[in-house]
Amino acid sequence: MAAQQIFIGIDAGGTQTVAAAVSGRARTLVAGGPGNFLAVGSAAFHALLRGLVKALRARAGIDPRNVSAVCVGGAGLGRRRERAAAGRVAAQLFPRARIAVVDDGTLALWAAFGAEPGIALIAGTGSFCVGRDAAGRVVRAGGWGPLLGDPGSAFALGRRAIAHALAVRDGLEKPTALARAVARHFGAADALDVLSRIGAGGPAAVASFAPRLLRAAARGDRTAARIAAEEAAALGYLVKGVAAQLATRPRAVACAGGLFRNSYYARRAMRAVRAAAGPARVFAPRARPVDGAIALARAQVTHAAP
C-alpha cells in the first residue's frame, strides 16, 4: 500500500507565521513568529521554518524527508529574488518535496477563490489588494510596506496613534485619552520614549497598538474613531484601484486578514469596500491564507498550479 502523501502550506505573515500539514484527513497546525522575508532576512527565516518543522515532527510525527509538496507564501515574497532565496531555504528543509514559493496575494486569492477570478483584500500588520480576472491576469494595489504604503493596516492605525501622541507632546494637538494610552501601551513615561520602545520591534511593534485604538474607537473616543474611519476608507481605495485594472468587472471581493476579525473595524472597512466594488459580493472567506498554501502545495503534485 502506497504511503499517504503529505502536503505542507506555510503562511509567513508580518506578525505570525502559520504552517499546516495535511495527510489524508489528518491536519496539523502550528505557529511561529513574524515571517516577512524582507524584514527578518534569510537566516532568521530559515530558523523560523526549522522551528515549524520541529513542531510538526513533535505534534504529528512528520518527517520532512517524506513530505510530497510544500508551498511557502507570505509577506516580503513579491519579488523573484526573495522567492528564490526562500525556495532555497525550503528545499534544504524538505529535500524530496516539490516546492512552490508565492507572495501573500497569491495565497489570499487561492484561499478565497481557488483558480477562479476575484479580488482579495488583506488587512493585517500590512495591507494590499490583489485581483485575478477571467483571463487569469493578476493585478494588485498597495503592499508597498510600512514606509511607502500599507494604508488601512494595523501598522497604519498604530502609526497614526503614535503620531497623534507626539503631536500632543509638541503642543500641536490637544491632550487626549488616546495619547495617554499610547504611552501606557508601550510602557513609556512620555510619548517621546515610545520611539525607543518601537525601534527594535519594527512594524509589528507599531501595529500592536491597533487593537487598543479600535477598542477606544468602539467606546466612543473621537480621535480613535476618526483614525479608524479614515484608514477603513483607504482600504476601499485599494479595491477601487484593482477593479480598475482588471479586464472584467469582479463578481466578488474577499476581505481577509487579522483586522477583519475586529467587528468594529470590519463593518467600516467592508462598507468602504462595497462602495468601491459596486455590485460585487463582499464577504469574509472562511478559508485562511494557509489553506491557500495547502491548495497550491497539492497543485504541485496534480500539475494544476497556475
Q: What is the CATH number of the domain that holds 60?
A: 3.30.420.40
In a domain, 181, yes or no: no
Average pLDDT of every residue of the chain: 91
Burial of 301 (0-12, 13-18, 19+ CB in 10 A): middle
> Binning pLDDT at 50, 70 and 90, where does residue 304 land?
very low
CA-CA distance, 233 to 268, in Å (whole number)? 8
In a domain, 59, yes or no: yes
In a domain, 94, yes or no: yes
> Binning pLDDT at 50, 70 and 90, where does residue 180 land?
very high
Q: List CB contacts of 242: < 8 A, sequence separation 6 or more.
A: 119, 129, 130, 131, 139, 140, 141, 250
Domain count for the chain: 1
* Three state DSSP letters for the chain: CCCCCCEEEEEECCCCEEEEEEECCEEEEEEECCCCHHHHHHHHHHHHHHHHHHHHHHHHCCCHHHCCEEEEEECCCCCHHHHHHHHHHHHHHCCCCEEEEEEHHHHHHHHHHCCCCEEEEEECCCEEEEEECCCCCEEEEECCHHHHCCCCCHHHHHHHHHHHHHHHHCCCCCCCHHHHHHHHHCCCCCHHHHHHHHHCCHHHHHHCCHHHHHHHHHCCCHHHHHHHHHHHHHHHHHHHHHHHHCCCCCCEEEEECHHHHCHHHHHHHHHHHHHHHCCCEEECCCCCHHHHHHHHHHHHHHCCCC
> Binning pLDDT at 50, 70 and 90, where does residue 3 land?
low
- Give pLDDT, residue 70: 97
CA-CA distance, 48 to 54, in Å (whole number)? 10
β-strand 281-283 against 17-23: which pairing, if any?
A: unpaired
Residue 113's alpha-carbon distances to 2, 73, 225, in angstroms, are 31, 16, 33
- Give pLDDT, residue 303: 63
> Binning pLDDT at 50, 70 and 90, where does residue 136 land?
confident
Residue 283's alpha-carbon distances to 195, 218, 249, 270, in angstroms, are 37, 22, 16, 8
In a domain, 39, yes or no: yes
CA neighbours closer than 13 Å in the CB half-sphere of residue 178: 34
In a domain, 48, yes or no: yes
pLDDT of 200 over the 60 cut: yes
Query: Which amino acid, one-letter code, is at 155?
Result: F
Q: How far apart are the first and last CA of the chain?
A: 31
In a domain, 24, yes or no: yes
Which domain does 106 fall in, by range?
Answer: 7-110+288-302
Prediction pTM value:
0.82
> Binning pLDDT at 50, 70 and 90, where does residue 305 land?
very low
In a domain, 140, yes or no: no
Angle of helix 289-302 relative to helix 104-113, nearest 10 degrees?
90
> Grid cell 467592508 — which residue?
270
In a domain, 227, yes or no: no
pLDDT of 277 over the 60 cut: yes
